[in-house]
Structure 1
Amino acid sequence: MAPVVIQLSRHSPEIVSRVAVTAQHREMLDQVMMHFGLNKDHDLDIMKENQSLGDTTVRVLERLTPVLKQERPDIILVHGDTTTTAASALAAYYEKIPCGHVEAGLRTGDKYAPFPEEINRRIAGLISDIHFAPTARAKDNLLREGISEESVFVTGNTAIDALFMTVREDYVFRNEALKALRFGTWAGNDCPGSGCCDNQGCGRRANDEVRSIVVEVHRRENFGRGMENICQALAGIARQRRHDVRFLVSVHKNPNAREPVIRHLDGIDNVILFDPLAYPDYVNLINRAYFVVSDSGGIQEEAPAIGVPVVLCRAKTERPEAIEAGTVTLVGTDKALIMDTINDLLDNIERYRQMATAGSPFGDGRAAERIAGALLHWFGLSAERPEELETFW
């Protein structure tokens, strides 16, 4: 949401925004706010240890409702598919305040995959009065659900805006473990992609001596057997390929994700474990990765935008555009398939090149600009409907 807040500030006094944060991840929130130069007007501070989804919903309703009564905004904007997103939209509905949904229309069609995100975004979609869809596919999903076409704007995803604002080739990591690593470039005949030696894309993220694979796994639906399979697959490859691959693994705070990662991967000499990174470190690490192994939602958009393939450890995805574009390959949590896919990407330069150069279907870095234009149009401050992102998915 940070790019939207920044863009809206450029339209003052026509639009005046107030920022309310849930502090779902306090340390990460503070880092992001500082990075983008944002200030919070209301800190709901809803999170407590081992909080259930129901408790999260109740605390958002209890703490956001007084803020809405105080501010009486003309609209509330919510982002994505977290439980706080759904609860915030519900709080707005109870106060009869219009709601806008950023990243609207993503669907898998299975209410338990991903859980609870699929239902969270459906709730936000049902309540919202204006919908900012990242792609034409997402817009079509909304239209099939009976949402009026006039209320849907195809904008691209603001995550791409934030990414482009943050990634730098000369970036210096804050994390000490990453700062000590050497990241190089491909050169000459070893280059896996045409033009990349001219800084035009594929392959420049590989290390001179060893290729870096970034790993982030934390989905609720993978807790248990799924996490075990993923971690066993990664450990197997790490031990097989000690000399040409290193795994850089973000260890989630949730014990259900953290415990199997540490149990299977800690102590392997070409595996580096670290706590979740500050946003600038995170996206700049992705920019230096050979490819990513993850079950995350956002990584399916971020990595392809900078030419980094993704091996997706999920049964289903709400971003089928990435699969169709060829930037993401879906492997589920089958141990053998995960290992085969990773090894193939490491050994099959042609497949790697195809994925790394496929391009991103999720935006051009101007989503926040389009969202601001849509809001001006919705408020009647601009007569023309803003130009939408042209996508082929």
Structure 2
Amino acid sequence: MKIAVVFGTRPEAIKLAPVIKQLREKFETIVINSGQHHNLVQQIIDFFHIEVDYDLRAYVSKDRTLPQLSSMLIENLDRVYSEISPDLVIVQGDTMTTFTGAFVGFLHKKPVAHVEAGLRSFSKFAPFPEELMREMVGRLADLHFPPTVVDKENLLNENIRPDRIFLVGNTVVDALKLGNSILDENQVFQELKEYGITPDILKDRKIVLITSHRRENIGEPLVRICQSIKHLAQEYPDFVFIWSMHPNPEVKEIVSNYMQTKPDNIYITKPVSYPTMIYLLNHAFLVLTDSGGLQEESASIGVPVLVLRTVTERSVVIDAGAGFLVDSDRNKIEYYFNKLVQDKEFYKEVSDRGEHLFGDGTASIRIQKLLENNEVQKFIKDYPLTEKMNLEHIKKEGIEIL
């Protein structure tokens, strides 16, 4: 069986890296990098030693709109799918690469599998355009791999066929395990040294990790976030605040302008590499972010997270109490920050709540085993003639075991 795995952004590459490694042990696996976030993705490719078969280099630029990006991706993916004729297309998440990868697969009448299916914020423009991307992929996909029970229920509520939904956990945990096993601390220290962050700072002081890049936060919300960070850094001089800044020009301009004068314990860096991000997460006291992946990673590692958004599709983090939805509201940000610092028992309770929310790090193995199943292979081989074939009974064989 020939499987095409498509990614184009850093989160997709991270979460598909363990899947690719697992699938290549059993199947002919063709890796397609759309190039949507070319430089950021290349770091992941190098770190996990992923062999890429096609690099489409459809990179995002300041002058390229989302419609132009989608047009370029559709044209290039159509060319590649025509050349390789995959038996199955695998996409992950909710980006333009995810949507176009699934859409072109549908146009070629190839079955599509969606890793991290079923996430919903139920707000059309938050996050934008990701919420609608994942909803549309949900209609296009034939096999759905939701990470949590909540995500599975979302799919069922949208009348996705129950026999096509397989609860596997989140491959982000697999990636963390794999990443930790090959992490080189010396390289991490070398990278952070560029910003004046020494090993002594990292080991002797409490680390607060910050990221913010969502379109809905650009503008006044991001200014309010900057104000909160500066105030907290002044209130807690023994803490170190590390802001890994997204390369979006609008984000850089706002943060750089507002942080021209700042306390010495705030460090603004370029987007840190994935191994450095893992190291910082492993040693962080707290994370402030509007990133979806960081919500999952923080909870899985046991680090409380303040989510800088009005709504989140990772609702399990909030519902479990492993993190708190604070938007860009200074009062909320500072309230939860202070409480987590000052109430040690509360901090420990929050830290312990997220440990198993996203599975045990074997999601990639579950996906591989599912695709090895004879009934699933028949479904894929004879598709679309088997489009109405019922796969419900294979779950009784232990495929879905979360």
Q: TM-score higher than 0.5 here?
A: yes
**Given the alignment, which residue of 309, 314, 318 partners 2:313?**
318
Inter-partner Cα distance in structure 2 for 1:20 and 1:151: 24
Q: What is the Cα deviation at residue 183 of structure 1? A: 5.8
Aligned to 2:24: 9
Inter-partner Cα distance in structure 2 for 1:301 and 1:115: 19
8 Å contact 2:289–2:305 — kept in the other structure?
yes
Q: What is the Cα deviation at residue 171 of structure 1? A: 2.8
- Relative to 1, partners in 2 of residues 1:351 and 1:245: Cα closer, same or farther, differing over 3 Å? same
**Given the alignment, which residue of 55, 58, 66 partners 1:43?**
55
8 Å contact 1:133–1:153 — kept in the other structure?
yes
Aligned to 1:375: 371
Inter-partner Cα distance in structure 2 for 1:141 and 1:183: 46
Worse-matched range after superposition: 29-38 or 151-160: 29-38
Inter-partner Cα distance in structure 1 for 2:336 and 2:200: 23
Residue 65 (1) aligns with residue 60 (2)? no
User: Any idea what the Cα deviations from partners look like across 1:185-241, whole Å, max 9, x if unmatched?
Assistant: xxxxxxxxxxxxxxxxxxxxx853x21100011111111121111111111111222
Residue 259 (1) aligns with residue 284 (2)? no
User: Any idea what the Cα deviations from partners look like across 1:310-341, whole Å, max 9, x if unmatched?
Assistant: 01110001011111222111111112211222
8 Å contact 1:363–1:389 — kept in the other structure?
no
Inter-partner Cα distance in structure 2 for 1:127 and 1:37: 30
* SS at structure 2 position matched to 1:218: coil
Aligned to 1:189: none
Aligned to 2:4: none
Q: What is the Cα deviation at residue 256 of structure 1? A: 1.9
**Amino acid of the structure 2 residue aligned with 1:367:** A
- Relative to 1, partners in 2 of residues 1:170 and 1:99: Cα closer, same or farther, differing over 3 Å? closer
* SS at structure 2 position matched to 1:354: helix
Aligned to 2:99: 86
8 Å contact 1:322–1:360 — kept in the other structure?
no
Q: What is the Cα deviation at residue 124 of structure 1? A: 0.8
Aligned to 1:148: 161
Aligned to 2:290: 295
Q: What is the Cα deviation at residue 25 of structure 1? A: 2.0
Q: What is the Cα deviation at residue 265 of structure 1? A: 2.8
- Relative to 1, partners in 2 of residues 1:232 and 1:389: Cα closer, same or farther, differing over 3 Å? farther
Q: 5 Å matches for 1:122-137?
A: 122-137=135-150
> TM-score under structure 2 normalisation?
0.86
Inter-partner Cα distance in structure 2 for 1:80 and 1:48: 18
Q: 5 Å matches for 1:114-193?
A: 114-167=127-180, 171-172=185-186, 173=188, 174-177=190-193, 180-182=197-199
- Identical amino acids, percent of aligned pairs: 35
8 Å contact 1:327–1:360 — kept in the other structure?
no
**Amino acid of the structure 1 residue aligned with 2:370:** A
Inter-partner Cα distance in structure 2 for 1:333 and 1:360: 28
Aligned length: 364
Runs of 4 or more consecutive aligned structure 1 residues displaced over 6 Å after TM superposition: none
Aligned to 1:201: none
Inter-partner Cα distance in structure 2 for 1:384 and 1:240: 57
**Unmatched segments (≥5 aa) in structure 2:** 1-15, 380-390
Inter-partner Cα distance in structure 2 for 1:28 and 1:136: 31
**Unmatched segments (≥5 aa) in structure 1:** 185-205
**Amino acid of the structure 2 residue aligned with 1:103:** E
* SS at structure 2 position matched to 1:290: strand
Aligned-CA RMSD value: 2.0
